[in-house]
């Protein structure tokens, strides 16, 4: 995954922001892009979905190369034929969220970690709840693998896209590992 410059902050919508609602095997995903970067992947009913006004104009998968490529790679990933993403992305958050999201990028496919383990890696195991909030606000679901974070007892805890989707994503990844198709 290629990190592109941080997206514009503030109440106005960057003029290059656009979105599509793309059908996938996990339901309709709202894909949001700014210029050459994917900045959002949201499930229906996503807990931390931004206001619709922030998604910009309606895009078109037939003519928008960034959104079309994101859709293509997500479909291949969900079908089990792709194991990682090669997309230009941008995300913005406060420094703590940025650090948590960077940790998410390091969790290998087919593996899980806990909120507490991430907090410990960040230097303070008492920050597990703050880590949980930051994970829940990850704007790039699936692409940045927040679904790989579980409760300290291994239970499937909160997922902005819904626990059943989290379960399906982890099962998909574990099946790929078991079948030897991970690498």
151-155 LR contacts (CB < 8 Å, sep 24+): 151/114, 151/115, 152/114, 152/115, 152/116, 152/128, 154/112
71's CB contacts (< 8 A; 6+ apart) are 20, 22, 24, 29, 31, 61
Find out whether 64 and 56 touch, Cβ atoms under 8 Å.
Answer: no
Q: How far apart are CA 116 and CA 151, in angstroms?
A: 8
The CA angle 155-128-142, to the nearest 5 degrees, is 60
Is 146 designated active site? yes
The residues with which 57 forms a beta bridge, in sequence order, are: 18
From 146, 150, 169, 170, the catalytic residue: 146
- List residues with catalytic annotation: 146
């Amino acid at each position: 995954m290629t990190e592109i410059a941080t997206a514009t902050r503030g109440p106005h919508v960057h003029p290059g922001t656009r979105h599509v609602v793309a059908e996938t095997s996990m339901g309709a995903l709202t894909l949001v892009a700014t210029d050459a970067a994917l900045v959002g992947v949201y499930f229906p009913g996503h807990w931390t979905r931004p206001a619709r006004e922030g998604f910009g104009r309606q895009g078109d998968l037939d003519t928008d190369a960034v959104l079309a490529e994101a859709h293509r790679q997500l479909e291949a990933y969900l079908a089990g034929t792709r194991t990682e993403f090669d997309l230009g992305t941008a995300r913005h958050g406060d420094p703590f969220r940025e650090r948590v999201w960077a940790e998410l990028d390091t969790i290998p496919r087919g593996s899980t970690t806990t909120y507490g383990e991430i907090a410990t890696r960040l230097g303070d195991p008492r920050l597990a709840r703050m880590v949980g909030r930051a994970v829940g606000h990850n704007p790039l679901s699936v692409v940045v693998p927040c679904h790989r974070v579980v409760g300290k007892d291994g239970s499937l805890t909160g997922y902005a896209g819904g626990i059943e989707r989290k379960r399906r994503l982890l099962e998909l990844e574990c099946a790929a590992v078991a079948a030897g198709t991970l690498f």
